[in-house]
Amino acid sequence: MTDTAMDIETVQTGEAQVKDYFALMKPRVMSLVVLTAAIGMFAAPGGVHPVIALATILCIAIGAGASGALNMWWDADIDAVMKRTANRPLPSGVVEPGEALGIGVALSIMSVLMLSIFGNIFSAVFLAFTIFFYVVIYSMWLKRSTPQNIVIGGAAGAFPPMIGWAVATGGISLESLLMFALIFLWTPPHFWALAIFRNEDYVKAGVPMLPVVAGDRATRNQILIYTLLLFPVAMVLAFTSVGGPVYFAVALAYNARFLWGAWSIWKRDEATATADKFKTELRVFLESIGYLFALFIALGIEIMLRALDLSWSGWPVLF
């Protein structure tokens, strides 16, 4: 190594760029949080001023980003050994662990405080609890200790629509609980479809994911069970004040596809899956991402139809 090369390396340590800090906040997870929180907020009765909506959704997104940064800080050791996460800012050495911790803690505090001012105290406490749940309960405690890590940890990802609803109403309702249940029950089959074909990664990292601990067959059974449980929850939402015919049609089509996918995964075994390089599992994993986006966008369409007074007044609101 020449002197010049050494100089460059020394100087560049810890000099991450803006995009590296942004990557620390898990932008893809943040996009889902923004969508679900916004739908939760706009679906709620009463309505929120657009400026307040923008400010509060920003707080929720930053809170989610902060917990993502804290998760990366805590999990840097296992991220480094897994193929999927090896090029994250911490394992790749672009961002220092102390920076990630600092950014995570500072943004967590800021987002909660600002949400209490922009929105209300209840939603701010809810956001603080969500950050605590994701970072402490999921990342620090459950992820490395139980194969049910995804099931319980999934709650953290399911809270944003409830926080959005809480910003608008200051409370909780059946509709917001159902939106929570939708994401909560969707998370296990979504992640386990990934875990089946990324099994080696989790074994290497020592994370007790269900396929690692209980085996391939048990995971396939669980994927089908959770997808079956998800179906009625998604359909009941169509008959609440936030649902409608558009959501009903979209939910029916996407649930049928997700169920078909879960059934296809259940029918196969490890040998068949290995032979075709987990083609079905990968397809269902990708489809599951589309599933959640589609259902929440359908709820968004219902909100717009109601705002334009175009919703069908004869639609039965049973719950």
Which residues, in sequence order, are CB contacts of 181 under 8 Å at separation 6+?
Answer: 158, 233
**Rounded to an integer, what distance in angstroms lies between the CA atom of residue 73 and that of residue 71?**
5
Residue 115: both structure tokens together: 């949400």
- Contact between residue 68 and residue 29 where contact means Cβ atoms under 8 Å apart: yes
Kindly state whether residue 52 participates in binding another protein, applying the rule CB under 8 A: yes
Shortest distance in whole angstroms from residue 218 CB to another protein? 47
**Rounded to an integer, what distance in angstroms lies between the CA atom of residue 302 and that of residue 246?**
7
User: Considering beta carbons, is residue 4 or 313 the nearer one to another protein?
Assistant: 4
Instruction: Kindly report the number of other CB atoms within 10 A of residue 123's CB atom.
Output: 28
Residue ranges in 57-86 that form contacts with another protein under rule CB under 8 A: 58
> How many angstroms from the chain centroid is the CA of residue 26?
10
Question: Binding mask 107-146 vs another protein (x if CB under 8 A, - otherwise)?
Answer: ----------xx----------------------------
Kindly state whether residue 4 participates in binding another protein, applying the rule CB under 8 A: yes
Shortest distance in whole angstroms from residue 6 CB to another protein? 8
Label residues 43-71 b or e (16+ Cβ within 10 Å = b): bbeeebeeeebebbbbbbbbbbbbbbbbb
Q: Please choose, from the candidates 260, 284, 122, 281, the residue with its C-alpha nearest in 3D space to the C-alpha of residue 216.
A: 281
User: Considering beta carbons, is residue 58 or 228 the nearer one to another protein?
Assistant: 58
Q: Exposed, middle or buried, 18 (CB in 10 Å: 0-12/13-18/19+)?
A: exposed
User: Considering beta carbons, is residue 56 or 222 the nearer one to another protein?
Assistant: 56
Binding segment for another protein (CB under 8 A), chosen from 4-12, 92-100, 164-172, 299-307, is 4-12
User: Considering beta carbons, is residue 107 or 196 the nearer one to another protein?
Assistant: 107
Question: Binding mask 8-47 vs another protein (x if CB under 8 A, - otherwise)?
Answer: x--xx--x-xx-----------------------------
Shortest distance in whole angstroms from residue 114 CB to another protein? 8
What does R_g of the chain's alpha carbons equal in angstroms?
21
Binding segment for another protein (CB under 8 A), chosen from 1-9, 70-78, 212-220, 274-282, is 1-9
Kindly state whether residue 276 participates in binding another protein, applying the rule CB under 8 A: no
- Contact between residue 148 and residue 214 where contact means Cβ atoms under 8 Å apart: no
Kindly state whether residue 317 participates in binding another protein, applying the rule CB under 8 A: no
Q: Exposed, middle or buried, 160 (CB in 10 Å: 0-12/13-18/19+)?
A: buried
Binding segment for another protein (CB under 8 A), chosen from 35-43, 50-58, 256-264, 265-273, is 50-58
Shortest distance in whole angstroms from residue 95 CB to another protein? 12
User: Considering beta carbons, is residue 117 or 256 the nearer one to another protein?
Assistant: 117
Catalog residues that contact another protein under the rule CB under 8 A: 3-4, 6-8, 11-12, 15, 17-18, 49, 51-52, 54-55, 58, 117-118
